[in-house]
Amino acid sequence: MTGRMRTLTAAAVGWTAAWAWAGEAGTSATAGTGGPAGGTAAATANYTGGGPGVARTRTSTGDVNIARGVAWGVDQNGLDFSFSHAIAPRFGPAYAGTFNLSIGRDGAVAGSYGGSLAEGGLARTVQAGGMTRSAPSGGTSAVANAGGNTVGGGRVDARTNSWNRPAFTMARGRFIR
């Protein structure tokens, strides 16, 4: 293989790998009460993609335990956004929620959301998280999860939902799906 051919091959592989790198944003948050420390709070946030992005978390514990994570970014494949939060006061119900949205470069949109509510018991923990992705071939995807538990009785109600809207295409001067 000649030097020029190696250079062209390396450029083609590198360009293909960069183009194939999908944008992804994901977050999670959990908060709980009980125990001698009063409670816990934890959050994660992550963005990977070929363009600028932000991933931030914030937590605090005490009488009210709070966790938040946010991640977003834009690259050649589209925009990806994820937000998760959780709150667990020492007394009363604990709640966690998530929202995720992706808009692809071809106009496809995917989203997901979810929430968890824990009531009763001596201790309560809730968590929610999600991820969204815009693919290089067009198209998007999003997932959400939510859950929790209680100690010493109580109940947890968790729900999630996701949707995907394909891009509009034009045929004979009219938009169709």
pLDDT in tens, 18-42: 445 679 999 999 999 976 667 999 9
* 3 state SS of 22: coil
CA dihedral 61, 116, 113, 27 (to 10 degrees): 30
- Give dist(CA 14, CA 30) in Å, integer: 38
Residue type, 101: L
38/10: higher pLDDT? 38
Place of tokens 């009531």: 119
User: pLDDT tens digit string along 92-138?
Assistant: 999 999 999 999 988 899 999 999 999 999 999 999 999 999 988 77
Does 16 have pLDDT greater than 70? no
Is residue 70 over pLDDT 70? yes
pTM equals 0.82
Alpha-carbon gap, residue 71 to 157, rounded angstroms:
26
> Of 109, 99, 55, whose CA–CA distance to 79 is shortest?
109
Report the distance separating Cα 84 and Cα 117, nearest Å.
Answer: 14
Please tell me the number of Cα atoms within 13 Å of 12 on its side-chain side. 6
Say how many C-beta atoms besides its own lie within 10 A of residue 78's C-beta.
28
Can you tell me which residue has the tokens 């944008």?
23
Written as six digits, the tokens of 57 are 């978390």
Strand partners, 67: 59, 86
Instruction: Give the integer Cα–Cα distance in Å for 148 and 40.
Output: 13
